[in-house]
Amino acid sequence: MRPTQWRPATHLLVGVGVLAVVAAVVAAAAMLTGRVHGAAHAQVPPPPPGVTAKSSIVAASGDAQMPTRSGLAAALAPVVADPNLGKLGGRVTDAMTGQELWSQSDDLPLQPASTNKTLTTAAALLALDRQARVTTRVVEASEPGDAGVIVLVGGGDPTLSGAPPGQATWYHGAARLSDLADQVRRSGVTPTAVQVDTSLFSGPTFAPGWDPADIEGGDIAPVESVMLDAGRIQPATDESRRSTTPALDAGRALATALGLDPARVTVTGNAVSSGARQLAAVQSAPLIDRLNEMMNVSDNVMAECIAREVAASMQRPLSFAGAVDAVTNRLNTAHVDTGSAILRDSSGLSVDDRLTAKILDSVVQAAAGPDEPKLRPLLDLLPIAGGSGTLSDRFLDATFHAAGPAGWLRAKTGSLTAINALAGVVTDRSGRVLTFALISNDAGMSGRTAIDAVASTLWSCGCAP
């Protein structure tokens, strides 16, 4: 069994590999992140009976040979010819040197699906404090005639939970609406009605290219500055259908908790006075934890809200367009050329989004290389093949669990109808670390298997002289 490998990026260490046995993959994920975060949501098969997983981390040799262009091209040729890939854009780069080793239509704009979240995460790591938290407040209304009216002020935290105390919620460390209600009761104010201030976010609540049917399907909700459980009707269920009125729902839940008539709740886009008396406040989990959950389960609502945090830091409108502008511009300052990107959202759910494999690989390469240390955590946030998040059930051989790239590949996934994408890092059989981006559009029925075969070839090739 091959050990976990870390490799030096000039003077820095980058975690890019774990173990081939699934149980050890999860153990290694805990070592990389400090906990098994997201594993509770992943359906990870157990290792075969009798297999004992032993995890270890060793330094990858700096002398590991880089694949040759010709060797890698020869190895990839048969798998990239699979018609199930449809239109394929791809790029493979040596992580240590940044040298491009293989490409195919890497400048072709294609639908990236959720690999778009790689850009959002990278921009957040560059622009924001990793420990940043988002605050949701309740204040007294300050307008004349509003005696007894309290205002729930959205701060942009979609993880605020309406679940009762002690009941599980989908998000780890989420703030609770019940805590806000308790603080209001202790404030001495006797509320008579609830307003909801959604003024923080601007523009439409639904992005161009989104399908309203995805609300019922559980993939998205209208993005508002105050939401409960990202709009989930069932707060502890990933695939719960979502609400069409998340801000109103939050206000009604607060009213109910305070013994008020939820029918009297109103939602307003008018901001409360900066001098309004604060009655209650709760905070989200730190940014790095929210990014971890967002990337592991590919959370669309969280991606859109975190992108607005980036927009706020760069004095852009807190809207879909403003967030895209902020994300792409912040990446440009890190020498990632996003000039050819056409994005309508920050999650990748829009069918109007277009990215190239070159842009995606450049983001991962920036995280793996020596010049942007603030991006290093991006590699740790990528799901692990066969071990965590959206890759927990992929890259596993049903007969030989120790075979294949499980544990040696980390990547952000992207999946929409006839679209499959992967962007991440892999340690090949020579011990060399490669970054890669693969985007398949107009894919056939076996498109996901076909794109996984391309990534698996990067692991198995070696392709050194």
The whole-number average pLDDT for the span 5-20 is 34
Mean pLDDT over the full length of the chain: 87
- Please confirm, yes or no, whether 54 is among the known catalytic residues: no
pLDDT digits (tens, 9 = 90+) for 204-232: 999 999 999 999 999 999 999 999 999 99
The whole-number average pLDDT for the span 84-109 is 97
CA distances from 423 to 113, 115, 234, 285, 315 (A): 11, 7, 31, 26, 29
Instruction: Tell me whether residue 370 is in a domain.
Output: yes
18 vs 170, residue with greater confidence: 170
1 vs 165, residue with greater confidence: 165
Instruction: Tell me whether residue 34 is in a domain.
Output: no
pLDDT at residue 353 above 50? yes
User: Which pLDDT band, with edges at 50, 70 and 90, does 364 fall under?
Assistant: very high
Instruction: Tell me whether residue 146 is in a domain.
Output: yes
59-73, 188-202, 375-389: segment of lowest average pLDDT: 59-73
Instruction: Tell me whether residue 394 is in a domain.
Output: no
User: Which pLDDT band, with edges at 50, 70 and 90, does 36 fall under?
Assistant: very low
The whole-number average pLDDT for the span 104-115 is 98
The whole-number average pLDDT for the span 190-204 is 96
pLDDT digits (tens, 9 = 90+) for 320-343: 999 999 999 999 999 999 999 999
Among 285, 319, 339, give the residue marking a domain's end.
285
- Please confirm, yes or no, whether 225 is among the known catalytic residues: no
- Judge if 311 and 333 occupy the same domain: yes
* Residue-level pLDDT at 142: 77
Instruction: Tell me whether residue 76 is in a domain.
Output: yes
Instruction: Tell me whether residue 39 is in a domain.
Output: no
**Count of CA atoms in the C-beta half-sphere (13 A) of 259:** 5
pLDDT at residue 315 above 50? yes
User: Which pLDDT band, with edges at 50, 70 and 90, does 63 fall under?
Assistant: confident
Distance of CA 346 to the CA centre of its chain: 10
- Judge if 233 and 297 occupy the same domain: no
pLDDT at residue 83 above 80? yes
Residue 90 to residue 79: CA distance in whole angstroms = 12
Instruction: Tell me whether residue 6 is in a domain.
Output: no
- Please confirm, yes or no, whether 319 is among the known catalytic residues: no
pLDDT at residue 308 above 60? yes
**In terms of C-beta density within 10 A (0-12 exposed, 13-18 middle, 19 or more buried), how is residue 385 classed?**
buried
Residue of 114, 243, 319, 362 marked catalytic: 114
- Judge if 382 and 418 occupy the same domain: yes
- Judge if 351 and 370 occupy the same domain: yes
- Judge if 232 and 315 occupy the same domain: no
pLDDT at residue 37 above 60? no
Among 237, 267, 285, give the residue marking a domain's end.
285
Residue 33's SS3 state is helix
Answer yes or no: are the C-beta atoms of 88 and 440 closer than 8 Å.
yes
pLDDT at residue 285 above 80? yes
Residue of 103, 225, 243, 298 marked catalytic: 298
**Count of CA atoms in the C-beta half-sphere (13 A) of 298:** 25
User: Which pLDDT band, with edges at 50, 70 and 90, does 61 fall under?
Assistant: low
Residue 361 to residue 93: CA distance in whole angstroms = 8
The whole-number average pLDDT for the span 282-307 is 98
Residue 26 to residue 327: CA distance in whole angstroms = 31
- Judge if 239 and 105 occupy the same domain: no
Residue 42 to residue 388: CA distance in whole angstroms = 6
Among 242, 261, 285, give the residue marking a domain's end.
285
- Judge if 337 and 414 occupy the same domain: yes
* Residue-level pLDDT at 145: 62
- Judge if 248 and 355 occupy the same domain: no
Smallest Cα–Cα separation from 98: which of 300, 371, 339, 281? 371
pLDDT at residue 85 above 50? yes
**What is the identity of the amino acid at 404?**
G
138-147, 173-182, 373-382, 416-425: segment of lowest average pLDDT: 138-147
29 vs 419, residue with greater confidence: 419
What is the tally of structural domains in the chain? 2
The whole-number average pLDDT for the span 411-435 is 96
Residue 187 to residue 190: CA distance in whole angstroms = 9
pLDDT at residue 40 above 80? no
- Judge if 90 and 122 occupy the same domain: yes
375 vs 4, residue with greater confidence: 375
Q: Where are the alpha helices (DSSP H) in 41-81?
A: 69-80
Instruction: Tell me whether residue 41 is in a domain.
Output: no
For 59, other C-beta atoms within 10 Å of its C-beta total 10
pLDDT at residue 178 above 70? yes
- Judge if 155 and 279 occupy the same domain: yes
The whole-number average pLDDT for the span 241-247 is 97
Residue of 103, 117, 346, 412 marked catalytic: 117
pTM as predicted = 0.88
User: Which pLDDT band, with edges at 50, 70 and 90, does 239 fall under?
Assistant: confident
* Residue-level pLDDT at 289: 98
Would strands 100-104 and 87-94 be described as parallel, antiparallel, or unpaired? antiparallel
* Residue-level pLDDT at 44: 33
Smallest Cα–Cα separation from 305: which of 137, 419, 136, 177? 136
pLDDT at residue 1 above 80? no
Domain span at residue 143? 135-285
453 vs 41, residue with greater confidence: 453
Residue 296 to residue 305: CA distance in whole angstroms = 16
- Judge if 333 and 423 occupy the same domain: yes
* Residue-level pLDDT at 51: 34
Assign residue 432 the CATH number of its domain. 3.40.710.10
pLDDT at residue 400 above 80? no
- Judge if 310 and 434 occupy the same domain: yes
